[in-house]
Amino acid sequence: MAKILVTGVAGFIGFYVSRLLLARGDEVVGLDNINDYYDVNLKYARLAQLEGMPNYRFIKLDLADAVGMADLFATEKFDNVINLAAQAGVRYSLVNPQAYISSNVIGFTNILEGCRHNQVKHLVYASSSSVYGLNSTMPFSTKHNVDHPVSLYAASKKANELMAHTYSHLFSLPTTGLRFFTVYGPWGRPDMAPFLFTKAILESKPINVFNYGKMERDFTYIDDIAEGVVKVMDRIAASDSIWDSTNPDPSGSSAPYKIYNIGNNNPVRLMDFIQAIENATGMEAIKNYLPMQPGDVPATYANIDDLMHDTNFKPRKSVQDGMKEFVDWYRAYYHV
């Protein structure tokens, strides 16, 4: 049994990862600041599912609180840390950039410092497929250059990867970054397309279809994501014995540092995704076609060869089955 800090425990991925860790017998300290970026009632409802589970405790704390974070690490002495807390959202980063610096940069610095000073064995942290930015080579590979982000959110996630490498190099802290690809499923985020589309369709309201529907996303079901995160945590990052500084592989290092894509490896056209929701709800969407939004990209597609090779992990859930489960949850949770 390991003692694990899961930040963002009231969030979508943090909730599922914590539940999976607890089910297998690990001790989980869940941390969250319960910010109001989206409905806090959903966050508290997730937390209620974890309350009373053996070996689980919740702590309300902001990652940007340097003193509070230092005290937490010094007191608890975690074996591993899974950092899933962050200010999320591409479009919101155009409106409130300071929130991304506070949580994703300052907060992540406090995570790194806590791990450095308290002999944490492995730090696993959330990056994002958004780091690929202007890169249009498909599928996205961790071997690709990611120096052209198109949103501050993406830039903050790329910064996390660079910061983690520095700590891996200077302090031999094993770190693994996970570039998530469009995670969806029951208990999902209300600001994401699966939730927004389902809500609008059930209420017979129009949905906004950006880039006139000419979009593709590598939708990845939440149970698959949680399994992948735990498998990665169990495989502590190590230095790459064949890493070549004259031809550096961005996904590894001479330091104990690793980057993986974690996606479904199967992009779905936006119009097919909408069709899956229509099938699950039994209702036709009213579509409002719009141009591409600033900070957005037309397609995402994850190359997960390294992840499969190193962890024997591969997502299994189809979008058709996954969206049926999401719609069933949505109807039950909101009584519609």
Residues 6 or more apart whose CB falls under 8 angstroms from that of 151 comprise 90, 93, 94, 130, 294, 295
- Report how far residue 288's alpha carbon sits from residue 294's, in angstroms, rounded to the nearest whole number: 17
- Report how far residue 176's alpha carbon sits from residue 294's, in angstroms, rounded to the nearest whole number: 29
- Report how far residue 64's alpha carbon sits from residue 111's, in angstroms, rounded to the nearest whole number: 9
Residues across the chain:
336
> What's the burial of 36, exposed, middle or buried (CB within 10 Å: 0-12/13-18/19+)?
exposed
- Report how far residue 78's alpha carbon sits from residue 173's, in angstroms, rounded to the nearest whole number: 14
**C-alpha count within 13 angstroms, C-beta hemisphere, residue 189:** 20
- Report how far residue 190's alpha carbon sits from residue 188's, in angstroms, rounded to the nearest whole number: 6
Helix (H) or strand (E) holding 180: strand 175-180
Q: Are 84 and 11 in contact (CB under 8 A)?
A: yes
For residue 327, give the nearest of 276, 290, 292, 255 by alpha carbon: 276
Residue among 16, 153, 184, 330 flagged as catalytic:
153
Token couple for 66: 């340097």
Q: 């389902």: which residue's tokens?
A: 198
Query: Measuring CA to CA, how many Å separate 168 from each of 81, 127, 161, 237?
Result: 14, 16, 10, 9
Amino acid identity for residue 90 in this structure: V
Active site residue 184: no
- Report how far residue 71's alpha carbon sits from residue 76's, in angstroms, rounded to the nearest whole number: 8
Active site residues: 153
